[in-house]
Amino acid sequence: MVTTLCCPQDDNPLSYDRLNGEWAQWFRTAQRFEHKVPAQDRGDIRHSIILELALTRARDGNKPFSEAMMCRIASCVVAHYWRKQYKLTNGLDCGSCSQKQRAKCKADYLYSQCPKAIKIESLSKPITDENGNVTELGDTIADDKAIDIGAWLDARTFLLSFPNRLVYIAHKRVDGIPLTGAEMKYLCKWRKREQKILVAG
């Protein structure tokens, strides 16, 4: 395998102009295919094609390595890129299904019914709860740092480890009784303590 470099006077040591021999040929092949992916990923796909060509050349040894073969390999790298992108955005992994199933999906265009597909919902979608209250989907997402007052009232986890005053405040909150200023301050202090434990955990 020829890996010699040229133009040692080039100011940019990473310039592709410094490639020579097969490496330069692989770079030109990659250039022919890199436009098939989004602009932000063209540098990555270029390197992936060059690497795959180099690995194939190393495996094949002195066997003929035609331009058609190089184009085929580059085309496969690009196809793999798009399969990966499609899976990330749609949640589809047709490669894990049988050929018979893939043929059926293709013939009847059943991709939208695939159980592996990601169902995308808008966070502003209105949701109606069991009491008829309407809220946005995004408001139903749990806050990892929020304190669950109901869980605090569980005698097994709360009453045995916290002061009676805090239990009394928790009962008032659950019953909808307004807290005094001193009670709010005391509750905030314990909430901050619990949040630190949650974050650290």
Residue with token string 């408001």: 139
Q: Among 2-6, 77-81, 175-179, which range has the highest average pLDDT?
A: 77-81
Q: Would you state the structure tokens that stand for residue 45, as one six-digit string? A: 């796909």
CA triple 115-120-122, angle to 5 deg: 150
* Of the listed ranges 25-34, 36-45, 57-66, 135-144, the one predicted with least confidence: 135-144
User: With bands split at pLDDT 50, 70 and 90, how would you rate the model's confidence at 2?
Assistant: very low
pLDDT recorded at residue 45: 92
- pTM for this one? 0.46
Residue with the bigger pLDDT between 141 and 75: it is 75
DSSP class of 135: E
Full DSSP string of 53-113:
HHHHHHHHTTS---HHHHHHHHHHHHHHHHHHHHHHHH---GGGS-HHHHHHHHHHT-GGG
Contacts for 44 with CB less than 8 Å, ≥ 6 apart: none
CB 170 within 8 A of CB 153: yes
Contacts for 60 with CB less than 8 Å, ≥ 6 apart: none
> What's the rounded Cα separation, in Å, for the pair 124 and 134?
11
Q: Which helix (H) or strand (E) holds 136?
A: strand 134-136
| Domain layout of the chain by residue ranges | 16-95, 122-201
